[in-house]
Amino acid sequence: MQLYKGDCLEVIERAGIRGVDMVLCDPPYSSGGLFSGSRKASTRSKYTSEDYNGAARFQSFSGDNMDQRSFTEFMRMCLSRFRSVCRNGAICAVFIDWRNLPAMTDAFQMAGWVWRGIVVWDKGISRPNPDRFRNDCEYIVWGSNGESGGKPYPGCKNLPGCYHVKSVSTGQKHHQTEKPVPLLRKILAICKEGGTVFDPFMGSGSTGVAAIETGRDFIGIELDSGYYDSAALRISNAIRRRVNGPGKAQQGKAKR
């Protein structure tokens, strides 16, 4: 396991990361609201209801206020650098919401990945949208570094293209926009056991926890110190649980 604090583009330059089998990441979406002005607001006001179940305890996170062109270029740069540390045939899977889905699929292809599809995550919950369709799904743009060669890894035949997994409840969260570990475990089925999973926007480390729990190695990067510390604690607890069995690790619960 390797964890780094810093900007992912800078860390990749100096850390000598190599041999990645899967990039699974959840970048800042630069989303929220309907118009570019509202997207510049803090992530706290965009993604949480301050008065709901202690949601105001989370710090806002960085990098979430680009306009759509800047976001496309930023993701192109990042995805291209991430690809450079991957093995041939490695898988890349990137979370995004409906607003920046077109930007992400553009950036994905411009970065040289072979785009292979979009997986749907049905969160089972969303803000009300009276008289309109609810935006209760997020998306995972995925593909491979060149051809994914040979047979699929054991256990990953016919993976579903749609996952119904409830969002993490606010009281249980470690991060404003945390992804559920049970969902990430299912997505990681496409990566071979013992393979190396890389999350360059790891937030509170949910991908790392899922990787360790499913017997994969993990490399993670996070820019914000508070979230980095939370990730380091959660992932080391996951390692302890795997080595000692459940019940031995201290609970990496969110501070309230």
In whole angstroms, the minimum distance from the beta carbon of 84 to ligand SAM comes to 16
**Per-residue exposure over 117-131, b if at least 16 CB sit within 10 Å of its own CB, e if not:** ebbebebeeeeeeee
In whole angstroms, the minimum distance from the beta carbon of 141 to ligand SAM comes to 15
Q: Which residues are at the interface with ligand SAM (CB under 6 A)?
A: 7-8, 26-28, 61-63, 175, 177-179, 200-201, 203-204, 206, 221-224, 227
Q: Which residue number, 33 or 152, has a Cβ lying nearer to ligand SAM?
A: 33
In whole angstroms, the minimum distance from the beta carbon of 198 to ligand SAM comes to 12
Q: Which residue number, 86 or 168, has a Cβ lying nearer to ligand SAM?
A: 168
Q: Which residue number, 49 or 244, has a Cβ lying nearer to ligand SAM?
A: 49
In what order do the strands lie in the sheet containing 217-222? 2-5, 217-222, 196-199, 20-25, 86-96, 137-144, 114-122, 162-164
Q: Which residue number, 76 or 175, has a Cβ lying nearer to ligand SAM?
A: 175
* C-alpha to C-alpha distance for 202 and 112, rounded to whole angstroms: 22
- Residue nearest ligand SAM by beta-carbon distance: 203
In whole angstroms, the minimum distance from the beta carbon of 162 to ligand SAM comes to 20
Tokens (6 digits) for 36? 């570019």
In whole angstroms, the minimum distance from the beta carbon of 4 to ligand SAM comes to 9
* C-alpha to C-alpha distance for 120 and 117, rounded to whole angstroms: 10
Q: Which residue number, 217 or 229, has a Cβ lying nearer to ligand SAM?
A: 229
Provide the H-helix boundaries in the chain. 8-15, 36-39, 43-47, 68-84, 101-110, 181-187, 206-213, 225-244
How many angstroms separate the Cα of 223 from the Cα of each of 112, 171, 236? 25, 24, 19
Q: Which residue number, 42 or 148, has a Cβ lying nearer to ligand SAM?
A: 42
Question: 90, 96 in Cβ contact below 8 A?
Answer: no
In whole angstroms, the minimum distance from the beta carbon of 110 to ligand SAM comes to 18
